[in-house]
Amino acid sequence: MSNCIFCRIVQREIPSKIVHEDDVGLAFEDINPQAPVHILVVPKRHIESLDMLKEADSSLIVHLILTCAKLAKQKGISSSGYRVVANTGFDGGQTVSHLHLHLLGGRAMGWPPG
């Protein structure tokens, strides 16, 4: 999708600080971090939200979650703990209509999130 900011990041039309890339996804630092570690993990293929996933996408979402775990280890936050969040829809706080996981860590996380 030509107007999707995350698709444009994947296609290198918009610069970002990429921390991981493979055939399935891309991970980059959030430009407005909410924690010392705040990385966005996105599929390279445009999928609007969790609601748009199909059964055939089960390996994709597992891959994205495993990427979060791998990055948490690389960033040194796996032993202290971290949060993985997928906002879905307007009321869920989704501001970019491209499926993405937030990897947050490096500080204690309260509940409810905010």
Residues recognised as catalytic: 100
Helix (H) or strand (E) holding 71, with range, is helix 58-74
Contact status, residue 27 vs residue 67, Cβ threshold 8 Å: yes
Q: CA-to-CA distance for 19 and 87, rounded, in angstroms?
A: 21
